[in-house]
Each structure stands twice: as C-alpha cells, then as structure tokens.
A and B are shown apart, each in its own frame.
Chain A
Amino acid sequence: MPLHILAPMVVVGLIIAWGAMRFAGCSQDLRFTTVEDARLHWLRHRPGAKPRDIIVAADGRAALVEVGSGLWLLRSFGIDSVIHHLGAAQVITVKQGLTLTFPEYDDPKARLTLTPKECTIWQARINAHQQETRND
C-alpha cells in the first residue's frame, strides 16, 4: 500500500481509537482504597513476600510497603500498579509531595502527591531504609 495512503489512515485510526477510549471512560487511575487493597496489589507483584507494614498515601495513588527484602513503593500506573525497590531511589521534595528517581531505564521517575505530614514520614522511612542498606 502506498505510504501516502497508509500514513494518513494510521493517523486517523490512532485519533479515532484514542477518542473511543476517552469516550468509554478508559482513562481513570487506580486508587488503593484501603491497606488491604494495597496488600492485594502488592501480592500480585510479589506473591511470596508478605508485607510487614503498609502505609497508603491519602490520595490512594501510592503506598510504602515494607517486606523482608526492604522498603518498596507500590504505585498506581494507569488502572494497574507497579512496584519499585527504594534502596537506590533519589528523593526530592517538591511542592506537591515527593519526586522519586530510580536507576532503572524502564521506570525512571515517580511523582507522588503527599500531604506535608506524609512527606515527612515517607522521607524519613526511605532515608532510614537507605541508611540500613548502606550499613549492611
């Protein structure tokens, strides 16, 4: 098929598909409604690692999860979730909360919306965990 037909067809197709998904309500974010909800999401990622402690952010988009292997972030990713180990994360305080930068190319940054009180607690937990990791 000639490129001058294929290319516009693809562009129009992408726009129509995007519009259809917006119309169908496919653009919502996952929220962890309770600690139990966050625990179930965590266990989906790491079935063998039972959490010792979970703190869910007030906006429900992220949770700190402590397991035997250390401290992890569970965060909303579209209507799904992803996890990050926090051992090597760089933490920066911003107006809305915290920005975490990870060394992984496939998961470079997480922007967390946290209350000032949450910010203090989360940063302290992450710093303590990183200090322990360095001491080990």
Chain B
Amino acid sequence: MTDMLIYPKVTDYAVPFFILLILVEIAWITFKKRGGRYETRDAMTSLFMGVGSVVSGILLGFIAWNCFTFLWWLTPINLGASVLVVVICFVLDDLRYYWVHRFGHRVRWVWASHVNHHSSQHYNLTTALRQTWTGTFTLMMVVRAPLILLGFHPAMVLFVGGVNLIYQFWIHTEAIDKMPRWFEAVMNTPSHHRVHHGRNPRYLDANYAGVFIIWDKMFGTFVPEVQDEKVDYGLIHNIGTFNPIRVAFHEWVAIWRDWRQPGLTWKDRWNYAVKPPGWRHDGKGGSTELLKRRHVARNPETAGTPGFEDYKA
C-alpha cells in the first residue's frame, strides 16, 4: 500500500493548552493551598524534558516512520480511514500502549528510556511533559507493527498515539481527587495514574494504562488508590540532579557501568539489559517483589490488601 493520508500533529496544537492548564494548576494550588506541589527547578526540568522530547522526535522520528511505511508497503490490507476505523485503531493502539508501558517498567532497556518520566518527586501537570529523549533506542516501535500489518495506515497509528498522549496530560494532577464512578471504572484517571507514579511498595508496577484502565483490570495489574496511604512520588532511589541531560541519560549510563563490571558473563550482560530494574548478577539487587515482601513483613496487616494480594504475612 502506498496511498497518502495526512493527519494534524495534534501534540503540537496542544502545546498552548498545556501551558495554559499548567498556569491554571499553579494558580489553583497557590490560592487554594491544596491540590499538589510545585517546585520551580523540578517543574522547569520537566518542561525542558518535554522540549527535548519534541526535538528528539524531529531528529529521530524518521527511523520509526520509515519502518512503518515499509510495513505499509508490505501489507495487502487497507482498512481505509473511516471514523469507525480510527476509533478501532485508537482502542487497539491503547492496548499497544499498555504493553509498551508495562515493558517500560519490567525490562531495564526500556526502563532506561522511561525512567525520566518517573524521576520527579512531584506530581503535577509538568510531570506529564517530563518525556523521554531516547524512546527510539528501545526499539519498542516494533509493538506498533501489527497495527500497520492489520491495515491501519501509519499516519493514523501515529495520530491516535498523539491523541493518547494528550489524554494522559490532564491525569497528571493532584488537584482532581476522583471522577464519577462509571468513569473511574473504565477510564484512566488522576487517581489511577497517581498510583502508577507511586514509590510506595503497595503501588509499585501497577496501573500501566494510557486511556482505558480496563487493560490493567484484564491483565491483573490494577491497584486502586487507597485513601489512608498517600502516594509518595518518585523513584525507589531518587535522583539528585535537575540537569535534563543527566535526567535523560542516567539509566543508560548505569547500564553501561553495569556491563563494564569485571568478571561478567555475556549472559549477565544480557540480563542487565532485559531483566527488571534492580536485578543484579550477584543476587543482591532489590526487585519490586522483594520490596513488597519486606513491606508486608514489616507491616503484616497489609497482607492481602490492594497491591499485596499475593503476599502473606
């Protein structure tokens, strides 16, 4: 298939609204004295990460685009561009997002790119823009390949991906507590996504959804926000820099340093790239499972509660 299809680059058009909503959130927090926290250097780092992500897309976007147009040339199927096809593409692309995001937390090579999004100890609308510069290097573009081979035009696939990202902007806030019950049941919301950004053992590796929270409920990764356990944002080991370059590349550097340790086998090196973050060849690493187990040992009353369903006191 070689036909042309053009969609607007929706994330660019959303920029003025992003800025406006950030200013509204700052004003809300300042005057209401609740609904989140802002720290100038942290927020500016997030915004610079967002700018860098756009620049990275301009510089490296051609790699994914050329792969997708090659797949489009290969496939004999063209589903067209009707509204129904766009809607189906959006839903399937959200399923694709769920899995890429889950890999992003469970495979260190992909985490190296995604970690910067979680590197702030704050949770506000600027955190949404703390995006990766190195997504192309993860090769996660291959997860989009089935959509194109199924007959969804590459431009449509990228368009719905952009809409997905725009949806996720507004859920990065503490200013909204809960949405109506029916909405919380189906859609990703500020409450669900706060859980995803938590470093509390209860909230680790949960709620990977982009737009529809149903994927987490289907695949067993859903954890609700618990009223009496406030989310603590950031990483297990928080980074101590506001330098966007260090934020963007620190986990890649850490992988490189792990690879260079003396006495490693090639299997160890492979595992340092593909095992979950925290894995170590000497068995001294701290996995999510270990952190949850230790937490339940210290707090036996939490065994069996959300986030600890599989852990016994």
Point out residues on A near B: beta carbons under 8 Å.
1, 6, 9-10, 13-14, 16-18, 20-22, 24-27, 44-45, 47-48, 75, 77-80, 82-84, 104-108, 110
Asked if residues A82 and B23 are in contact (CB atoms below 8 Å), the reply is no
Asked if residues A45 and B40 are in contact (CB atoms below 8 Å), the reply is no
CB B154 to nearest CB in A, in angstroms, measures 20
Cα A79 to Cα B40 in complex, Å, equals: 9
Asked if residues A105 and B40 are in contact (CB atoms below 8 Å), the reply is no
Contacts of A18 in B (CB 8 A): 40, 44
Asked if residues B40 and A27 are in contact (CB atoms below 8 Å), the reply is yes
Asked if residues B41 and A78 are in contact (CB atoms below 8 Å), the reply is yes
Cα A107 to Cα B247 in complex, Å, equals: 10
Asked if residues A17 and B47 are in contact (CB atoms below 8 Å), the reply is yes
From 45 to 79 in chain B, residues with beta carbon under 8 angstroms from any chain A beta carbon are 47-48, 51, 54
Asked if residues B19 and A105 are in contact (CB atoms below 8 Å), the reply is no
Contacts of B226 in A (CB 8 A): none
CB A37 to nearest CB in B, in angstroms, measures 17
| B12 in complex: contacting residue of A6, A14, A21, A104, CB < 8 Å | A6
Point out residues on B near A: beta carbons under 8 Å.
9, 12-13, 15-16, 18-19, 22-23, 26-27, 29-30, 37-44, 47-48, 51, 54, 121-122, 126, 232, 234, 237-242, 246-247, 249-251, 253-254, 257, 294-295, 298
Asked if residues B43 and A21 are in contact (CB atoms below 8 Å), the reply is yes
Contacts of A106 in B (CB 8 A): 239-241, 246-247, 250-251, 253-254
A77 and chain B: residue at smallest CB distance: B240
Cα A129 to Cα B239 in complex, Å, equals: 23
B126 and chain A: residue at smallest CB distance: A17
Known contacts A44-B232, A80-B238, A107-B241; A20 and B39 CB within 8 A of each other: no
Contacts of B48 in A (CB 8 A): 14
Asked if residues B41 and A82 are in contact (CB atoms below 8 Å), the reply is no
Known contacts A24-B30, A48-B294; A13 and B15 CB within 8 A of each other: yes
Asked if residues B240 and A107 are in contact (CB atoms below 8 Å), the reply is yes
Q: List 13 A-B contacts (CB under 8 A).
A: A1-B13, A10-B51, A13-B15, A14-B48, A16-B23, A24-B27, A26-B38, A27-B39, A45-B237, A48-B294, A77-B121, A84-B240, A107-B239
